[in-house]
Structure 1
Amino acid sequence: MRDLKTVFSLFILVVSLFVNGINGENPYRFYTWKITYGDIYPLGVKQQGILINGQFPGPQIDCVTNDNLIVSVYNYLNEPFLLSW
Protein backbone atom coordinates (compact mmCIF):
# COMPACT_ATOMS: atom_id res chain seq x y z
CA MET A 1 0.00 0.00 0.00
CA ARG A 2 2.89 2.32 0.77
CA ASP A 3 4.31 1.76 -2.73
CA LEU A 4 0.97 2.71 -4.25
CA LYS A 5 0.96 6.02 -2.37
CA THR A 6 4.53 6.72 -3.50
CA VAL A 7 3.70 5.96 -7.15
CA PHE A 8 0.56 8.09 -6.96
CA SER A 9 2.48 11.00 -5.38
CA LEU A 10 5.17 10.74 -8.07
CA PHE A 11 2.47 10.70 -10.76
CA ILE A 12 0.86 13.85 -9.34
CA LEU A 13 4.26 15.56 -9.23
CA VAL A 14 5.05 14.72 -12.86
CA VAL A 15 1.60 15.82 -14.05
CA SER A 16 1.89 19.14 -12.20
CA LEU A 17 5.28 19.79 -13.81
CA PHE A 18 3.83 19.24 -17.29
CA VAL A 19 0.82 21.45 -16.57
CA ASN A 20 3.05 24.30 -15.41
CA GLY A 21 5.25 23.92 -18.50
CA ILE A 22 2.42 24.62 -20.95
CA ASN A 23 2.46 28.10 -22.46
CA GLY A 24 -1.11 29.36 -22.77
CA GLU A 25 -0.53 32.85 -24.12
CA ASN A 26 -2.00 33.92 -27.44
CA PRO A 27 0.39 33.60 -30.39
CA TYR A 28 1.55 36.53 -32.47
CA ARG A 29 1.39 36.30 -36.27
CA PHE A 30 3.47 38.73 -38.31
CA TYR A 31 2.68 39.82 -41.86
CA THR A 32 4.44 42.27 -44.19
CA TRP A 33 2.38 43.74 -47.01
CA LYS A 34 3.80 45.84 -49.85
CA ILE A 35 1.10 47.80 -51.66
CA THR A 36 1.85 48.48 -55.35
CA TYR A 37 0.15 49.06 -58.68
CA GLY A 38 0.03 46.26 -61.21
CA ASP A 39 -1.93 44.77 -64.07
CA ILE A 40 -4.98 42.70 -63.18
CA TYR A 41 -7.40 40.90 -65.47
CA PRO A 42 -10.90 40.92 -63.96
CA LEU A 43 -13.32 39.31 -66.43
CA GLY A 44 -10.40 38.88 -68.87
CA VAL A 45 -9.89 42.61 -69.43
CA LYS A 46 -6.50 44.13 -68.55
CA GLN A 47 -6.54 47.12 -66.21
CA GLN A 48 -4.38 48.70 -63.55
CA GLY A 49 -5.17 47.62 -60.01
CA ILE A 50 -3.78 47.68 -56.50
CA LEU A 51 -1.75 44.62 -55.51
CA ILE A 52 -0.69 43.36 -52.10
CA ASN A 53 2.66 41.55 -52.32
CA GLY A 54 2.08 41.32 -56.08
CA GLN A 55 -1.23 39.48 -55.64
CA PHE A 56 -4.81 40.27 -56.54
CA PRO A 57 -6.82 39.51 -54.52
CA GLY A 58 -4.46 39.98 -51.61
CA PRO A 59 -2.87 37.26 -49.47
CA GLN A 60 -4.87 35.10 -47.09
CA ILE A 61 -4.44 35.61 -43.35
CA ASP A 62 -4.24 32.28 -41.52
CA CYS A 63 -5.29 32.81 -37.91
CA VAL A 64 -7.74 31.67 -35.27
CA THR A 65 -9.64 33.38 -32.47
CA ASN A 66 -7.44 35.33 -30.03
CA ASP A 67 -4.39 35.40 -32.31
CA ASN A 68 -2.53 38.69 -32.24
CA LEU A 69 -1.90 40.02 -35.76
CA ILE A 70 0.93 42.42 -36.51
CA VAL A 71 0.58 43.67 -40.11
CA SER A 72 3.31 45.97 -41.42
CA VAL A 73 1.95 47.82 -44.46
CA TYR A 74 4.32 49.60 -46.87
CA ASN A 75 2.56 51.92 -49.32
CA TYR A 76 4.40 52.20 -52.65
CA LEU A 77 1.47 53.96 -54.33
CA ASN A 78 1.63 57.63 -55.28
CA GLU A 79 -1.44 58.34 -53.14
CA PRO A 80 -2.67 57.50 -49.62
CA PHE A 81 -3.98 53.97 -49.08
CA LEU A 82 -6.75 53.02 -46.63
CA LEU A 83 -7.10 49.47 -45.40
CA SER A 84 -10.06 48.44 -43.25
CA TRP A 85 -11.34 45.18 -41.79
Structure 2
Amino acid sequence: MTEPDTEAIRRQLIDAFEGADYPVSNPIELLPALPNGPATTFESGEFSMSVLELRDGAQRTDGATDGFPYETPEALADDIIDGLQDVGKLP
Protein backbone atom coordinates (compact mmCIF):
# COMPACT_ATOMS: atom_id res chain seq x y z
CA MET A 1 0.00 0.00 0.00
CA THR A 2 1.51 3.28 -1.12
CA GLU A 3 1.04 6.28 1.14
CA PRO A 4 -0.45 9.29 -0.68
CA ASP A 5 1.78 12.33 -1.16
CA THR A 6 -0.19 15.21 0.35
CA GLU A 7 1.91 17.84 -1.42
CA ALA A 8 1.32 16.11 -4.78
CA ILE A 9 -2.45 16.23 -4.16
CA ARG A 10 -2.18 19.91 -3.19
CA ARG A 11 -0.31 20.70 -6.44
CA GLN A 12 -2.93 18.80 -8.46
CA LEU A 13 -5.70 20.79 -6.79
CA ILE A 14 -3.98 24.11 -7.47
CA ASP A 15 -3.35 23.16 -11.10
CA ALA A 16 -6.97 22.09 -11.56
CA PHE A 17 -8.51 25.15 -9.91
CA GLU A 18 -6.12 27.88 -11.05
CA GLY A 19 -8.17 28.59 -14.17
CA ALA A 20 -11.25 29.62 -12.22
CA ASP A 21 -12.32 33.26 -12.13
CA TYR A 22 -11.35 34.32 -8.59
CA PRO A 23 -12.79 35.12 -6.18
CA VAL A 24 -15.12 32.12 -6.31
CA SER A 25 -18.26 32.15 -4.18
CA ASN A 26 -19.36 28.52 -4.47
CA PRO A 27 -18.23 25.14 -5.80
CA ILE A 28 -20.24 25.46 -9.02
CA GLU A 29 -18.00 28.34 -10.14
CA LEU A 30 -15.03 25.94 -10.10
CA LEU A 31 -16.42 23.35 -12.52
CA PRO A 32 -15.61 25.20 -15.78
CA ALA A 33 -11.94 25.42 -14.73
CA LEU A 34 -11.53 21.68 -14.24
CA PRO A 35 -9.71 19.82 -17.03
CA ASN A 36 -12.29 16.99 -17.12
CA GLY A 37 -15.20 18.83 -15.53
CA PRO A 38 -16.90 16.85 -12.77
CA ALA A 39 -14.98 13.72 -13.84
CA THR A 40 -11.64 15.28 -12.79
CA THR A 41 -9.79 13.05 -10.32
CA PHE A 42 -6.88 13.63 -7.97
CA GLU A 43 -4.51 10.72 -7.34
CA SER A 44 -1.41 9.85 -5.38
CA GLY A 45 -0.41 6.44 -4.05
CA GLU A 46 -3.52 4.65 -2.83
CA PHE A 47 -5.49 7.91 -2.79
CA SER A 48 -7.90 8.57 -5.66
CA MET A 49 -10.87 10.91 -5.40
CA SER A 50 -13.03 12.67 -7.95
CA VAL A 51 -13.78 16.34 -7.56
CA LEU A 52 -17.37 15.41 -6.66
CA GLU A 53 -16.14 13.05 -3.95
CA LEU A 54 -13.89 15.79 -2.59
CA ARG A 55 -16.88 17.84 -1.54
CA ASP A 56 -18.11 15.01 0.70
CA GLY A 57 -14.70 13.64 1.64
CA ALA A 58 -13.29 16.94 2.78
CA GLN A 59 -16.07 17.87 5.20
CA ARG A 60 -14.39 19.24 8.29
CA THR A 61 -14.91 17.50 11.61
CA ASP A 62 -14.08 20.64 13.60
CA GLY A 63 -17.41 22.28 12.81
CA ALA A 64 -15.88 24.74 10.35
CA THR A 65 -18.02 25.76 7.43
CA ASP A 66 -16.71 25.96 3.90
CA GLY A 67 -14.34 28.85 3.29
CA PHE A 68 -16.12 30.43 0.34
CA PRO A 69 -15.42 32.88 -1.09
CA TYR A 70 -11.88 31.88 -2.02
CA GLU A 71 -9.47 34.46 -3.37
CA THR A 72 -6.80 32.03 -4.66
CA PRO A 73 -6.49 28.41 -5.74
CA GLU A 74 -3.84 27.94 -3.03
CA ALA A 75 -6.28 28.91 -0.26
CA LEU A 76 -8.90 26.56 -1.70
CA ALA A 77 -6.40 23.69 -2.02
CA ASP A 78 -5.17 24.22 1.55
CA ASP A 79 -8.72 24.03 2.95
CA ILE A 80 -9.47 20.87 0.95
CA ILE A 81 -6.24 19.25 2.18
CA ASP A 82 -7.02 20.26 5.79
CA GLY A 83 -10.51 18.78 5.48
CA LEU A 84 -9.22 15.53 4.01
CA GLN A 85 -6.67 15.28 6.82
CA ASP A 86 -9.33 16.02 9.45
CA VAL A 87 -11.44 13.08 8.25
CA GLY A 88 -8.44 10.76 7.85
CA LYS A 89 -8.39 10.57 4.04
CA LEU A 90 -4.85 12.03 3.87
CA PRO A 91 -1.95 11.82 6.32
Structure-1-length-normalised TM-score:
0.24
- Larger of the two Rg values belongs to structure: 1
Higher relative contact order, structure no. (Cα contacts within 8 Å, ≥ 6 residues apart) = 2
Q: Which structure shows the bigger proportion of residues in strand conformation?
A: 1
Structure-2-length-normalised TM-score:
0.23
